[in-house]
């Protein structure tokens, strides 16, 4: 009977809450309803996590970057600085005060030995009872490289090749113990079954790692592997290794093309379409009426500092100095960056398609940094999500609240009930682990 | 009036609770009152932290090692494995569920870029409201090196030279923001004072780091810097940089000599004797009568697996294969190790002084791995602590419960009240931060 109910249940969408400081909009911190000091307060993040858990989100999600960007301090001081707590530390503390919600941390493969990464996630998975996900990124800026004994970043293709090896090492370390290795037999004096400890002995292009970790196998086998890179290299890595992809797509057509293309790339890896969930980012601006929502958005747009807007474009277009181009002229031709390639392409495509000047482009992306913006009532937002979800453009969405905490409150109080009414989203958690929330299988141990 | 009370108050001793798995004794996990599965359970550590906080301890403390030792799995399976959660992850989670107690994590300088370390501690200090301490160690084994692209550990002296540079980098990163850098001026659109961001631009023998962190300055200025190395190199590093030293001394005479010697080494650095707290380790076995305590100890000793005992000596004496020496013969002459030099010396000195065979030596150190063992009633334990404290051998103690949770419960329920009755230990927390608990000054920013 139970099985029949499950089988006939409507396909459910997945929701992530992307929590970035006091909100995603470039001017969020200047909004009168926002306390910008919250960006460094643990009780603020704790409260956001509880709100998302009340809304039955699959997971909360923290981005990351490794340092302070280049540029004159006077420019940075205007707010380009992403001043947040280190994600794994913050999520470990949040794990202690939440019960069910998934916890996804961004950690770059570029400058952290894989042994440390594998161990931290194994510990976090342990203490959260299987609720962790790792958003794998490679660091794409020179200013991050300079905090780690380098002058410049590693080239794009090489970074992704290293990341592939990195994931192999990390999985091999997570598999260092059989699920049933630990015995704790006090009488026999046998802590574990000696046949069930697996030394990795990895020797690759970049890493030599013996293993295993000092820990048991993670509760989920592996924490859920998430990726955001949408370039060619990024998609190839995702097809091989990711279970969730956070992507940025502007139109339904683009979304469908990306979705179909990436799912197809799973086939040569012997993976089912269901084994990778595609969750585009959406920045919802929610009002009780369409006009109220539009007014909210205009209020935020009016707070954008033009100097910051251009600074944002500089960063996302590949550290090009745009100051020599007229602000009301077109976006110039750009060389392919070794930085964030997919984001550069997305911005240029957007400008060409909508015939935007540099000024119009930064106004257009200041809210969501290239993610889709949906402005309107809860019904309108739900319509927009449903449209992508039922038309093959998304398995779910990563929600980017424009301001925090209010943007998240609005979504949980207004949009989530509407999605639930439509039978598109859970009303209670059924599973315990993040894998169970997302409908992902627990991976087998490669050594067995 | 208040000032007079402070000034005339008896000198107070400091207490750390060294929490290692299910207890420090080599056979703790086999004790019938112990559940060995607790070693991987977060709620267990949470409970221990709350008990220590109830006992007004200055801090809890986690040790660390980076991997699984060498040796046949059959030997490791007997219990040599230190199976614990990664300390910073565990302490971040504990920070969320405690209020006042200090949180000291061991992190090795050997294989983690200093930018990551500085950032993690800055975040933990932030979210714990200034309760963190960093126990700085260098990794001293080949089996750890092999998890990080190396075949062998770095030689002892070089390791400590690198550690010195590492601490400079970490402090420089913590000083990357003035205490009053953040403005969050919403009207002016100014997040911080651009004159108060300090790029480190460190270029040294081993590290090149630009800085600053993406964070404000830690609540404590710097998290409290703790060290345990007691070799010549270790003491030199401690005199230059440590604020707490966890040491292992067996006799009052040794303790006094170490205490006086290390405090004297502070002088050339322009540091006061008070700026470094020396806290020897003590493993207390507590009974309602002397006989009960002795019986408890014998029960644990009776559970020691001889194969494990010799394994322990192998590890601490520098990975010497001791199997060719008779178990009931003397400890042989040993070459100076590139591993844990001070621990090797302590073990050899102990064996020579007490004329111990190899078997007697492992029995002697199985409880506390070279730390002092005190067996008796709460009054006796308090007497022993007081004797060292008033006779210039200690500013406080790092308490190693032989089993957990009972060993910690006994200390908090029986010994702490006795120390409080004698006016040697606080009855309530006065300060908020770990620095305040320990009576350590908040460091000034080096760039100001």
**Best interface-test mutation with A: which of B77, B88, B207 has the largest number of A CBs within 10 A?**
B77
Interchain proximity B113–A112, CB inside 8 Å: yes
pLDDT of residue A347: 85
What is the per-residue pLDDT across B138-176, written as a single tens digit (0 to 9) for each?
998 899 999 999 999 888 889 999 999 999 999 999 999
* Distance from the Cα of residue B273 to its chain's centroid: 20
How far is the C-alpha of B29 from the C-alpha of B23, rounded, in Å?
7
Helix intervals (H) in B201-251: 232-241
Interchain proximity B123–A209, CB inside 8 Å: no
Q: Which residues of A are annotated as a binding site for FMN?
A: 64, 106, 156, 160, 230-231
Residue B342 assigned ligand-binding role: no
How far is the C-alpha of A107 from the C-alpha of A134, rounded, in Å?
7
pLDDT of residue B350: 87
pLDDT of residue A95: 96
Interchain proximity B184–A36, CB inside 8 Å: yes
Interchain proximity A127–B89, CB inside 8 Å: yes
pLDDT of residue B80: 64
pLDDT at B4 over 60: no
Interchain proximity B209–A149, CB inside 8 Å: yes
**Best interface-test mutation with B: which of A38, A89, A185, A447 has the largest number of B CBs within 10 A?**
A89
Please give the full DSSP string across B211-224, using - where no structure is assigned.
---SS---TTSSPE
Q: Which domains does chain B have, with CATH numbers?
A: 12-303+372-438 (3.20.20.30), 305-365 (no CATH)
pLDDT at B2 over 50: no
Q: Would you place residue B348 in the very low, low, confident or very high pLDDT band (cuts 50, 70, 90)?
A: confident
Q: Give me the residue from A32, A81, A112 closest to B191, CB to CB.
A: A81
From the CA of A173, how many Å to the nearest CA of chain B? 10
Report the pLDDT averaged over residues B7-34: 90
Beta-bridge partners for A107: A136
Nearest chain B residue to A22, by CA: B184
Interchain proximity B116–A119, CB inside 8 Å: no
**Residue numbers in A near B78 (CB within 8 A):** 189-191
Closest CA to B416 of B57, B58, B6, B61: B57
**Best interface-test mutation with A: which of B210, B303, B306 has the largest number of A CBs within 10 A?**
B210
pLDDT at B5 over 70: no
**Ranges in chain A, pLDDT < 50:** 1-7
**Residue numbers in A near B84 (CB within 8 A):** 214
**Residue numbers in A near B189 (CB within 8 A):** 30, 78-79, 305
The size of chain A, in residues, is 448
Interchain proximity B85–A193, CB inside 8 Å: no
pLDDT of residue A82: 54
pLDDT at B412 over 70: yes
Whether the CB-CB separation of A144 and A220 falls below 8 Å is answered with: no
Closest CA to A313 of A350, A354, A355, A366: A366
pLDDT of residue B337: 76
The torsion angles phi and psi of A158, rounded to 5 degrees, stand at -65, -40
What are the Cα distances from residue A301, in Å, to A27, A446, B419? 7, 51, 63
How far is the C-alpha of B444 from the C-alpha of B447, rounded, in Å?
9
Interchain proximity A216–B119, CB inside 8 Å: no
Closest CA to B194 of A66, A76, A310, A79: A76
Residue B156 assigned ligand-binding role: yes
Please give the full DSSP string across B185-212, using - where no structure is assigned.
ETTTTEEE-GGGB----EE-SS-EE---
A-proximal residues of B, 166-185, CB under 8 Å: 182, 184
More confident residue, B392 or A1: B392
pLDDT at B6 over 60: no
**Residue numbers in A near B29 (CB within 8 A):** 184, 186, 191
Token pair for residue A293?
């929502």
Report the pLDDT averaged over residues B310-337: 82
Burial (CB < 10 A; 0-12, 13-18, 19+), residue B354, is exposed
Worst-scoring range by mean pLDDT, A385-394, B133-142, B429-438? B133-142
Beta-bridge partners for B373: B283
Q: Does A33 touch chain B (CB under 8 A)?
A: no
B-proximal residues of A, 52-71, CB under 8 Å: 65-68
Interchain proximity B115–A148, CB inside 8 Å: yes
């Amino acid at each position: 009977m139970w099985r029949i109910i499950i089988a006939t249940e409507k396909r459910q969408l997945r929701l992530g809450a992307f929590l970035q400081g006091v909100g995603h909009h470039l001017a969020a911190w200047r909004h009168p309803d926002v306390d910008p000091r919250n960006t460094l307060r643990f009780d603020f993040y704790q409260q956001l996590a509880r709100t998302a858990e009340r809304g039955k989100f699959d997971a909360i999600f923290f981005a990351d970057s490794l340092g302070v960007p280049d540029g004159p301090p006077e420019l940075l001081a205007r707010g380009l600085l992403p001043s947040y707590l280190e994600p794994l530390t913050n999520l470990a503390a949040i794990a202690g005060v939440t019960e069910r919600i998934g916890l996804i941390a961004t950690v770059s493969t570029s400058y952290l030995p894989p042994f440390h990464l594998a161990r931290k996630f194994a510990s976090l998975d342990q203490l959260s009872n299987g609720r962790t996900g790792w958003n794998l990124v490679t660091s794409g800026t020179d200013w991050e490289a300079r905090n780690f004994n380098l002058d410049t970043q590693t080239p794009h293709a090489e970074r992704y090749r290293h990341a592939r090896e990195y994931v192999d090492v990390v999985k091999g370390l997570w598999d260092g113990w059989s699920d049933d290795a630990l015995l704790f037999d006090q009488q026999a004096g046998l802590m574990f079954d000696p046949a069930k400890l697996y030394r990795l002995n990895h020797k690759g292009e970049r890493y030599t790692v013996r293993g295993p970790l000092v820990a048991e196998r993670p509760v989920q086998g592996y924490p859920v592997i998430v990726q955001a890179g949408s370039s060619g290299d990024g998609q190839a890595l995702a097809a091989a290794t990711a279970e969730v992809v956070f992507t940025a797509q502007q139109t339904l057509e683009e979304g469908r093309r990306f979705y179909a293309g990436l799912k197809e790339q799973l086939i040569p890896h012997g993976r089912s379409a269901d084994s990778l969930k595609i969750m585009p980012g959406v920045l919802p601006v929610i009002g009780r009426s369409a006009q109220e929502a539009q007014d909210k958005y205009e209020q935020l747009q009016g707070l954008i500092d033009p100097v910051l807007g251009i600074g944002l474009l500089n960063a996302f277009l590949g550290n090009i100095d745009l100051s020599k181009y007229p602000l009301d002229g077109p976006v110039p031709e750009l060389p392919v960056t070794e930085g964030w390639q997919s984001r550069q392409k997305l911005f240029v495509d957007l400008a060409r398609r909508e015939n935007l000047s540099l000024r119009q482009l930064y106004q257009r992306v200041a809210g969501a940094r290239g993610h889709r913006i949906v402005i309107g009532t809860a019904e309108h937002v739900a319509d927009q999500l449903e449209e992508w979800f039922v038309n093959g453009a998304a398995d779910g969405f990563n929600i980017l609240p424009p301001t925090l905490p209010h943007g998240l409150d609005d979504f949980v109080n207004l949009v989530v009930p509407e999605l639930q009414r439509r039978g598109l989203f859970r009303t209670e958690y059924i599973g315990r682990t993040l894998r169970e929330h997302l409908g992902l299988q627990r991976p087998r141990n490669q050594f067995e």
